[in-house]
Amino acid sequence: MMNRRQLLGAGTAGAALVSSQAWSQTSNMGLPEAALMDSAATAVTPRPSSGVDYNPVVTLNGWTLPYRMNNGVKEFHLVAEPVERELADGMIAHLWGYNGQSTGPTIEAVEGDRVRIYVTNKLPENTSVHWHGLILPSGMDGVVGLSHPGIKPGKTFVYEFDLTKSGTFMYHPHADEMVQMAMGMMGMFVVHPKDPTFMPVDRDFLIMLNAFDIDPGTYVPKIMTMNDFNLWTWNSRIFPDIDPLVVNKGDKVRVRVGNLTMTNHPIHMHGYDFKVTCTDGGWVPESAQWPEVSIDIPVGAMRAYEFTADHLGDWAIHCHKSHHTMNAMGHDVPTFIGVNKTQLTQKMRKFQPEYMPMGTAGMGDMGKMTMELPENTIPMMNGWGPHGPIEMGGMFSVVKVREGIEADDYEDPGWYKNPPGEQAYEWTGELPEFASNNSPKTILTPKSTREG
């Protein structure tokens, strides 16, 4: 079987071979093949071999939908259907999505392109696709009943429009929206600038924030949940199984984050300050880009930020709402901090010999706890780092900045080894020799970064 990189490479190369001239006499082609993805690994798309050059985005634990050219029009085929998604290794969710996965594949095209997107409905109810943020004719806007009738089960609709601007957009149903989005139907739509020298970056990461409420031992999200979700996901994936953002030192990096959950998410990245360069409304002019270390992503919005990867290391990137860096947990657990549970433990063990008292000294110890779980769930926080449990889950990953990483290499380079003297250590009564020789070095953050 081909791996995902080969599959996508073949798809894109195949599309590139079909020049617009070759098809100028045959305007009556059948449906484009609907590419299908069966894995939650991150697929890296090769640069286009013809047409406008651009640096494809990297969708963490996701992929880009292949297209074909038909008489100068880029044709895509989305299939809305029930899918099985690995939220984490060993945890499957029964969702609705597109082309085998939730979130759906990223659609990538170029400003000035005309796109024709076939949408086949394999769901048990009607659906539609709304193209969030794109400027298009109102009949192509995908609001069921308003823009066009619902796409009935088994039917295929065609959306066709010109991409009038570059930027980062989203797609999702505007039909039984509460249910279909709670079930995982959403994806991102990236339009690259037609001028390759406009806003270029070396690495361009894509994250869709989404959330599910799936009881341990079950597989289908509870669609009526409004706020109290128990799985906070990036591209329908949870830490520790969200892939790292692998970066070569010195790279110019963009991270595009869309939010189709029911609440806002302040995304915080360690080790850097960055500039907010794009919203789903368009690019932010350089004079108006503002510096941040956390950027709040409102509901139904996208924010992109950029930085130059000058600082080697392993840097956390996560939602700053601490309940969103946890996996399946009940929120009605009482607080036991400061409570002596000795007597309770003795009584409980008469009924349940393995009972473990929890929470009297905080809950950090749960990060290294192994106890038997119901089927199809994973612990609240079980990511391990080089120095022990990371005590995080949910919306968390690591930006890994290294030297000598090839341009198209996104393989996990392992953990960063901090140089001597650059890692916090236990005080054992006196300073080690390297510390007693330390004195301030006059290193200032470059003026450009300080003052923008």
The least CB distance from residue 323 to Cu ion, in Å, is 8
Residue 52 or 262 with smaller CB distance to Cu ion: 262
Residue 130 or 265 with smaller CB distance to Cu ion: 265
Distance CA 368, CA 390 (A): 9
| Residue window 318-347: x/- pattern of binding to Cu ion, with contact defined by CB under 5 A | -x-x--x-----------------------
Work out whether strand 396-402 and strand 313-319 pair parallel, antiparallel, or are unpaired: antiparallel
Classified as helix, coil or strand, 15 is helix
Only segment of 45-53, 76-84, 313-321, 352-360 that touches Cu ion (CB under 5 A): 313-321
Residue 157 or 305 with smaller CB distance to Cu ion: 305
The least CB distance from residue 416 to Cu ion, in Å, is 25
Residue 167 or 393 with smaller CB distance to Cu ion: 393
The least CB distance from residue 357 to Cu ion, in Å, is 30
Instruction: Please name which of 186, 86, 184 lies closest in space to residue 130, comparing C-alpha atoms.
Output: 186
Give the CA distances from residue 213 to residues 102, 239, 267, 299, 388, in Å, rounded to whole numbers and listed in that order.
15, 16, 21, 18, 28
10 Å CB burial of residue 245 (0-12, 13-18, 19+) is buried
The least CB distance from residue 79 to Cu ion, in Å, is 30
The least CB distance from residue 227 to Cu ion, in Å, is 12
Residue 6 or 322 with smaller CB distance to Cu ion: 322
Beta strands in 273-414 (DSSP E): 274-279, 282-283, 291-292, 294-297, 301-308, 313-319, 384-385, 388-389, 396-402
Sign of the torsion angle spanned by Cα atoms 136, 285, 57, 385? negative
Only segment of 185-193, 240-248, 302-310, 317-325 that touches Cu ion (CB under 5 A): 317-325
Only segment of 129-137, 173-181, 184-192, 316-324 that touches Cu ion (CB under 5 A): 316-324
Residue 192 or 324 with smaller CB distance to Cu ion: 324
| Residue window 242-281: x/- pattern of binding to Cu ion, with contact defined by CB under 5 A | -----------------------x----------------
233: Cα within 13 Å, side-chain hemisphere: 31
Distance CA 122, CA 151 (A): 10
Output 370-373 pairs: Cβ under 8 A, ≥24 positions apart: 373/216
Tokens 């943020």 belong to 133
The least CB distance from residue 234 to Cu ion, in Å, is 10
Only segment of 25-33, 134-142, 173-181, 314-322 that touches Cu ion (CB under 5 A): 314-322
Distance CA 219, CA 204 (A): 32
Residue 203 or 324 with smaller CB distance to Cu ion: 324
Q: Does 188 engage in binding with Cu ion (CB under 5 A)?
A: no
Residue 324 or 400 with smaller CB distance to Cu ion: 324
Residue 65 or 319 with smaller CB distance to Cu ion: 319
Neighbours of 406 (CB within 10 A): 8
The least CB distance from residue 304 to Cu ion, in Å, is 18
Sign of the torsion angle spanned by Cα atoms 121, 122, 127, 129? negative
Q: Are 132 and 170 in contact (CB under 8 A)?
A: yes
The least CB distance from residue 394 to Cu ion, in Å, is 8
The least CB distance from residue 302 to Cu ion, in Å, is 15
Residue 264 or 289 with smaller CB distance to Cu ion: 264
Provide the b/e sequence for 353-376 (b: ≥16 CB within 10 Å). eebeeeebeebeebbeeeeeeeeb
Neighbours of 193 (CB within 10 A): 18
Instruction: Please name which of 160, 163, 114, 125 lies closest in space to residue 141, comparing C-alpha atoms.
Output: 160
Size of interface with Cu ion, in residues (CB under 5 A): 4
The least CB distance from residue 232 to Cu ion, in Å, is 6
Alpha helices in 228-362 (DSSP H): 342-351
The least CB distance from residue 182 to Cu ion, in Å, is 17
Residue 237 or 324 with smaller CB distance to Cu ion: 324
CA–chain centroid gap for 404, Å, is 25
Specify whether the backbone of 55 is left (phi greater than 0), alpha (psi in -120 to 50) or beta: beta
The least CB distance from residue 295 to Cu ion, in Å, is 12
Residue 88 or 295 with smaller CB distance to Cu ion: 295
Binding residues for Cu ion, rule: CB under 5 A, are 265, 319, 321, 324
